[in-house]
Amino acid sequence: MREFIYQAHPMRVRFGVRAFDVVAEEVEHLGLQRVAVLCTPGRAELGQALARALGSLCVGVIAKAVMHVPREVAAETIAEVQALGADGCVSIGGGSAIGLGKAVAMETGLATIAIPTTYAGSEMTTVWGMTADGHKTTGRNESVLPKSVIYDPELTRGLPVDTSITSGFNALAHAVEALYAPDNSPIISLMAEEGIRALTSALLGIRANPEDREARSDALYGAWLCGTCLGSTTMSLHHKICHALGGTLNLPHAETHTVMLPHVLAFNQPAVPEAVTALSRALGSAQRSTITDPARSFWELARELGAPTSLQELGMQQKDIPRIARDVLSSSYGNPREVSEESITRIISSAWSGKL
């Protein structure tokens, strides 16, 4: 007999619209009058354009977001938001901009609107992260969940193809681990399977033509579903290893997910037959072929799409494998298959060499 808990998060999503056309409406819908725009320094122009679209509803642009939300950047941003007298924030960008909005929301209780321009999925989760003294802390807090999310595929058309692909793999990893999460539920499995199907075929389309509107729309749709999976379940070994590699060695987030996914899945597959069936269906439908080994299929897909396939390629040194394995083993998390220092070392070693 099936037993599960499904906890939905309050969330308003506007999909497939031009963000600049509807953002003022969304701000007003939330009863806000003085919002600050948050973005990365590289996307300051986009932030300014969004501020112009908001007109008198915007009190300033703070272009300070960086990967993994350094504590001092969060503190400076919070002070600036308060000095501006803002009553809310609009984050535009990838997980870094959205993560900065979460830090502000957690400290001040202000509402945020997210306009994601990558496929990382942070906008759908109550997970926050912050880095201090080379260590990243994460946690869950309902207050960080954006009140409203605007998905505008046009904003992703300029996302470089290589970043699109690794960001897409980051999203795929959320759905894969949701399929075997301890708190999985039937609705999450449906979302995960559909998210993987949509995103996989979209990534093939984007590689063929980065400007393809349908592929960009399908990729964002898949990313929304995968992000919802991340926000509704507890992630396992794959996310734990990526967290350790990013936090300790500063390896790039999305690329690390891309490299690790096939190796962790190959290890977990024997323990999760239902997930393997769902993944085979999703990947088979996206690639129009019969899939029996999803881990190998992801590995081949990464090669076909020209994504990085080894940790070595990302700059990791072989001598760091034992320290990461110990780090992963020492923290607690769920995983469908029991792990040991030896098995974690084996998984990271195969990802380091890139051979499956």
Task: Please give the single-letter amino acid code of residue 136.
Answer: K
Neighbours of 153 (CB within 10 A): 22
- Residue closest to ligand NAD (Cβ): 95
CB of 73 to ligand NAD, least distance (A): 12
CB of 280 to ligand NAD, least distance (A): 26
Binding mask 267-306 for ligand NAD (x = CB under 6 A): ----------------------------------------
Nearer to ligand NAD, 45 or 274 (CB): 45
CB of 277 to ligand NAD, least distance (A): 27
Nearer to ligand NAD, 14 or 243 (CB): 243
**Residue 7 CA: distances (Å) to CA of 50, 102, 196:** 33, 20, 22
- The token duo for 200 is 């996989």
Is residue 139 a contact point for ligand NAD (CB under 6 A)?
no
CB of 41 to ligand NAD, least distance (A): 8
CB of 83 to ligand NAD, least distance (A): 24
CB of 167 to ligand NAD, least distance (A): 5
Question: Contact with ligand NAD (CB under 6 A): which of 156, 256, 309, 335?
Answer: 156
Size of the site for ligand NAD (CB under 6 A): 29
CB of 253 to ligand NAD, least distance (A): 4
Residue position matching structure tokens 């320290």: 323
Nearer to ligand NAD, 156 or 185 (CB): 156
CA–CA distance, 328 with 345 (Å, rounded to integer): 10
Applying CB under 6 A, which part among 163-171, 215-223, 285-293, 320-328 lies near ligand NAD? 163-171
CA–CA distance, 47 with 54 (Å, rounded to integer): 11
CB of 221 to ligand NAD, least distance (A): 16
The separation between CA 159 and the C-alpha centre of its own chain, rounded to angstroms, equals 15
Question: Contact with ligand NAD (CB under 6 A): which of 18, 28, 42, 315?
Answer: 42
Dihedrals phi, psi of 285, to nearest 5 degrees: -65, -40
DSSP state for residue 355 in the 8-state scheme: -
Nearer to ligand NAD, 59 or 65 (CB): 65
Q: Are the C-beta atoms of 27 and 20 separated by less than 8 Å?
A: no
Q: Which of residues 74-133 bind ligand NAD (CB under 6 A)?
A: 93-97, 99, 117-118, 120-122, 125, 127, 129
Question: Contact with ligand NAD (CB under 6 A): which of 139, 158, 182, 273?
Answer: 158
DSSP state for residue 8 in the 8-state scheme: P
Nearer to ligand NAD, 276 or 316 (CB): 316
Binding mask 225-264 for ligand NAD (x = CB under 6 A): -----x----------------------xx----------
Q: Are the C-beta atoms of 152 and 17 separated by less than 8 Å?
A: yes
Q: Are the C-beta atoms of 238 and 261 separated by less than 8 Å?
A: yes
C-alpha closest to that of 191 among 162, 240, 230, 152:
230
Phi-psi region of 55 (alpha: psi -120 to 50; beta: other; left: phi over 0): left
CA–CA distance, 325 with 228 (Å, rounded to integer): 29
Rg (CA), the chain: 20
Q: Are the C-beta atoms of 79 and 113 separated by less than 8 Å?
A: no
CA–CA distance, 221 with 152 (Å, rounded to integer): 10
Name the residues that contact ligand NAD, by CB under 6 A: 40, 42-43, 67-68, 93-97, 99, 117-118, 120-122, 125, 127, 129, 155-156, 158-159, 163, 167, 170, 230, 253-254
